[in-house]
Structures are given as structure tokens and as C-alpha cells.
Amino acid sequence: MRNLKRTALSLVLAVALLGAMAVPAFAQNPTVSITVSARLISITNTKDVWAIGVVTVNDVKYFSTDNTQNDTWSEIENTGNVAVNIAILGTDFVAGNTTFNWVLADTAGDQTYSLFANTDGTGTYNIEVKKAAPNTLKAGLAKGGKHTWSMNFTAPSAFHVDDDGLDKAASVTLVTSGV
């Protein structure tokens, strides 16, 4: 009887051990789906050309629909997937001959011109456009957000005689960084 008990106990233990080993074959193995998006810093700007035309000494022109100071003409849209800061940089006006360039400065003067930006449509152009160390045009523009802006240009207070009639070109760059 004792041997029978031992045999029965051994048999029960063997079945239990086999059953325990078979459980992983029937167990559920949950998975975790992982998604990721690469950081994308991207903006668009509705107006990319400003054809000022002929200017005279100390002329003031506005980057607006009707050349008035209380208008914001261009719209920036954040087309990326993170909030962005937008800063603004400008360049000198360059003619075919570098002798007759107009230098971008904080105030217009002899052979220097100035550019200032506005982002609120009030006519207060208080964001200086510089050649180095850009100034903030809009901080924290949310993903999908839009923001209007404009500029004013002040022509040099004096032109060189030989400068008359030369076409010049400059540019403004909207510099973006993620928040």
C-alpha cells in the first residue's frame, strides 16, 4: 500500500510538473505598440516678395497691402509638429557693384537703411531687423498656429551721386527654432 501511495504521489507530481511546463505554451504574451515622430520644425510665410520700387531719400515704405503702417500683410503658419520660436534677420542691399551697397542699420543714414517689424497690426514697428543676432518676431507659435506680421523700410538719408538708378537686392530670413 505504501508503494502504491508512493507511485500515485509520483504520478500526480509528474502530471503537475508536465502541466506547469505546458502553461507557457498557452499563456498570452501581450505586446506594446510603440510609435514615434521625428521632430519637425517647419513654417510657411504667405508673402515672399516685396517689390518696393523706386525710393527717394528718407522714404518710408510698409510691407503691407496698401503701404500703410497699421496693416499686417504676411502670415506665418507653423506647419511642423512642435511649437516654434521665430526670429528675423536681414541683409544689406547689394547692387552689382559693392561700392554702392546700402548697409542695414538701426537708423537710416548716409548709404544705410533700416528695417523694423510689427506683429500686432498697430503700426508700432519695434522689432529691429538686424544682420546678426536675430530679434524675436514671435515666441512659442503653437503647432498649426498662425501669426501675421509686417515690416517698414526707411531709405538712406543720402545716396551717392553714382548710385542713382542702380537696382539693389536684400532679403529677410525668418529663423525658426523649436521651443
> For the chain, where are the alpha helices, taking DSSP H only?
2-26
DSSP states along 88-137 = EEE--BB-SSGGG-BEE-SS-BBTEEEEEEESSSSS---EE-BSSSPEEE
- According to the model, what pLDDT value does residue 153 have? 95
The C-alpha atoms of residue 160 and residue 101 are separated, in whole angstroms, by: 10
Looking at residue 171, what is its pLDDT?
95
Better-scored residue on pLDDT, 72 or 74: 74
Residue 166: pLDDT band by 50, 70, 90 thresholds? Answer: confident
Q: CB atoms < 10 A from the CB of 141, how many?
A: 21
Q: What confidence tens digit (pLDDT) does each residue in 99-114 have?
A: 778 999 999 999 999 9
- What local confidence, expressed as pLDDT, does residue 130 receive? 96
Q: Is the pLDDT assigned to residue 20 strictly greater than 70?
A: no
Q: Kindly state the average pLDDT of the residues 14-31.
A: 66
At 27, which amino acid appears? A
Q: Could you tell me the pTM of the whole model?
A: 0.77
pLDDT-based confidence at residue 64 (cuts at 50, 70, 90): confident
Identify the CATH number of the domain defined by range 43-178: 2.60.120
Asked if residue 60 lies in contact with residue 17, where contact means CB atoms within 8 angstroms, the answer is no
List pLDDT tens digits, range 111-141: 999 999 988 777 788 999 999 999 999 999 9
Rounded-to-integer distance, Cα 156 and Cα 158, Å: 5
- The helix/strand/coil state of 140 is strand
Question: What's the angle, vertex CA 58, arms to CA 57 and CA 59, rounded to 5?
Answer: 95
